[in-house]
Amino acid sequence: MLGGTALRIHSLLLHPNERVLCRFKGEIERNGFTDAEGQAYCVTPLLYETGWIQFGVSIDGINFDRSGEYLSVHPSKADPAFQVTLVNTTQWQNYGMQNTAERLKMTWNSSLIGAEMVNIELWGYKEFSRGTEAGTHGSVSFEAKMSYLYSLGKNLPNTGSFSFVPEPSKEHTDWELGNIRITASSISDGARDVQALWSGGHVLAWHLEQAFRDDSTAWAKNKCLQWDDLEEKLPNFLDELIDCPCTLAQARADTGRFHTDYSCDIEKGSVCTYHPGCVHCVRAIQASPTHGSGQQCCYDSSGDLVLTGDSVGGSTPDRAHDWGSPPYREPPRVPGYSHWLYDVMSFYYCCLWSDHCHIYFNRRPSSGCRSYQPPKAAAVLGDPHFITFDGFSYTFNGKGEYYLVLSPHRELSVQARTEKVKLKKGTVANATRLSSVAMKENASDVIEVRQTEGHLQVLRNQRVLPFTEQRWMDLHGTLRYPQDVTVMFSSGVGVEVHVHEGTMAVTVLLPTEFTNKTQGLLGLMNSDPSDDLLTHLGHIISSADATAEQIFTFGAGWNISKTSSLFTYDSKSLLDDYYIPPSHDSTFFPAFSLPESPDDPLVADMLTMCFGEGARFCKYDTLTTRSLAVGNSTLRVFQNHQALIKVLEPVVSCGWIPVPQSGKKNGSNYLEGSTLSFSCNEGFILYGSSERTCLDDGTWTGEQPYCITGIL
């Protein structure tokens, strides 16, 4: 996003130093360059947005007859190997609080700067409105600006390391957020959109005015109060935020709407600097529609939602979503930086550099979970078996391409391709399995996830995506991950794709707004499994007594049309097997059941392994594939799905209860069945209930407790 990366233009060799002109987003023109071998390059510009960026290349300065695209990533997601590393970031971000004179150190990969000597610069970030710093007028448009401030060192040896003793800045002390940039010494100070390495964005404590070093607590308190006054003038953003999931398990399961906050990740050791006492935080993936704000939800080791009313480590919403929001570029929608200015700098002022967290939490109170509604989940697993959103399960072994979910409500289409099961000896079983899933919602990119040689391959708009640098990508409303792939859409729909024992499995999660608005193999989502076998003609086959043949006919009817296909046909086999013939192979009839012969050496072990819910799927897949491992995998995936359904059951919350003034509260769980107890400090008498229990109707027993003096 910060620019400075050289993009090599394939299949374009020129004379050394021949002119190359690059045009980004159809409007930003920058000169490229050629190296000694005649290879042409474009240098990415500084942008205030993430996502795929289109660019064109011209060698005559007129015709841009070559084009390409690259991925602009959130600054915090840039590959550390290509960044300037601030050694001991805590020291950098708290420098001056004890008026120290220690050296600050940075390192970088010297081979990435094609020069023997370098310049090291400080750049600052601000948001302005019509020439005035952002926030002074709540109704005007703002402008984001990253500006060169001053040089930390010129014509220095490119050793990959530099240290210095910072001095308080006089001219630029009002720039409190920024980045270090390193360029070749031949590049002039502050030149924009040139080859460079950047550090991550950070609070510039080390260059703040002398007043900060003299009394950092008083300085920070004054800044905290100024921020509080600014917040009073800005519009209320809290009311349009989605509520948090009530439990950690729900937060991790609702992958269509929430994603791990990397600053507090249970899978990375729960280093939760900004949320002490928590083990994991998630962020709402989508920003709020009007203000571009974000929700953050944090949980303790018991899996309970932590609220700021109980703990300084509680969940805090954000005026500016950390990941930004379309159309980006303008505050408060600039990825990373708007969030730092509106939400993180103030945390430093009020909480980390002074003892005024109550001011911060008054403006960033936890939302709670009383209105949270978990999504519904459906799944496809094994060879293949379907579990609808309402819990009806069946087997459909058609060969072709079919609708899993079709919802005109949001123009959502999730399609599945199946192939014949191949056995180890090269023979083909009389059954099928998933081989690819393609999906799209409204104007999103078309995303396809297909199995290739035992691993998952992701395509965006018919092109294979590399995951060499990024674990997630933002592609016009969707995010996805390597290995296990998760696709999220702006409506909150999540599609998870996994591979188990060589067999693809898919989970689809839908928010409750899709109730009565779905069709396809995963059924009509309305909490009534009896009508899940809704045909493409609108007829309902009774799920209670449907035969295997009827279910096969039902499934075959949900084959896609050629014009509605979202799949990519980029090989001869795909063209011959799927593009040219009908999308449902009417010549293929699977084995609807297989005999459990006592003479079969697999049967004894199979019967021992396949028991409980999902046993019939386990048995079918074991006998079909002649593999106990595949059957066991199907059973485990089925059990995992059942566990997911349990996690996503609605939870009743009665809402937060404050600690009585001059008293204590024991407990911080506000869900159904939990009990809170209250007591008073010495010299005070409890008035009201000493215990309150959360009931299944969302209300508390008893009365609000108060602590009153014992003297009447």
Instruction: State yes or no: cis peptide before 327, omega within 30 of 0.
Output: yes
Residue 694 DSSP one-character state: B
Cα angle 649, 653, 659; round to 5: 150
Q: Which residues pair with 414 in a beta bridge?
A: 405, 439
- Strands 412-422 and 479-480 come out as unpaired
- The distance in angstroms from the start CA to the end CA of the chain is 66
CA–CA distances in Å: residue 628 to residues 175, 384, 428, 619: 64, 16, 17, 9
Q: Which residues pair with 510 in a beta bridge?
A: 376
C-beta separation of 364 from 307 below 8 A:
no
Q: What is the pLDDT of residues 262-316, one digit of tens each?
A: 889 999 999 998 899 999 999 999 999 999 999 999 999 999 999 999 999 999 9
Q: How far is the C-alpha of 286 from the C-alpha of 268, rounded, in Å?
A: 23
Q: How many CB atoms lie within 10 A of CB 636?
A: 15
User: Is pLDDT of 101 > 80?
Assistant: no
Percentage with pLDDT > 70 across the chain: 96
Mean per-residue pLDDT for 360-365? 96
CATH 2.10.70.10 in the chain, residue ranges: 663-709
Mean per-residue pLDDT for 552-578? 96
Class of residue 431 by CB neighbours under 10 A (exposed 0-12, middle 13-18, buried 19+) = buried
For residue 309, the model assigns a pLDDT of 94
Q: How many CB atoms lie within 10 A of CB 88?
A: 11
Cα angle 138, 139, 140; round to 5: 105
Q: How far is the C-alpha of 164 from the C-alpha of 226, rounded, in Å?
A: 32
Confidence class for position 77, pLDDT limits 50, 70, 90: confident
Q: Which CATH architecture has domain 79-213?
A: Sandwich (2.60)
CATH 2.60.40 in the chain, residue ranges: 6-73, 79-213
Instruction: State yes or no: cis peptide before 157, omega within 30 of 0.
Output: no
Kindly state the tokens that stand for 272.
């939760």
Confidence class for position 114, pLDDT limits 50, 70, 90: confident
Q: Output the average pLDDT for the chain.
A: 92
Q: What is the pLDDT of residues 438-451, one digit of tens each?
A: 999 998 999 999 99
For residue 140, the model assigns a pLDDT of 64
Kindly state the tokens that stand for 499.
């591979």
Q: What is the pLDDT of residues 206-259, one digit of tens each?
A: 999 999 999 999 999 999 999 999 999 999 999 999 999 999 999 999 999 999
Q: How far is the C-alpha of 352 from the C-alpha of 253, rounded, in Å?
A: 32
CATH 2.10.70.10 fits 663-709, yes or no: yes
C-beta separation of 334 from 48 below 8 A:
yes
Q: How many CB atoms lie within 10 A of CB 583?
A: 22
Mean per-residue pLDDT for 20-31? 93
C-beta separation of 95 from 355 below 8 A:
no
Confidence class for position 352, pLDDT limits 50, 70, 90: very high
Pick the CATH number of 6-73 from 1.10.1060, 2.60.40, 2.30.29, 3.30.1340: 2.60.40
Cβ density class 637-676: b for 16+ within 10 Å, e for less = bbebbbebbebbeebbbbebbeebeebebeebbbebebeb
Q: Which of 62-66, 116-120, 564-568, 664-668 shows the lowest mean pLDDT across its residues?
A: 62-66
Percentage with pLDDT > 90 across the chain: 81
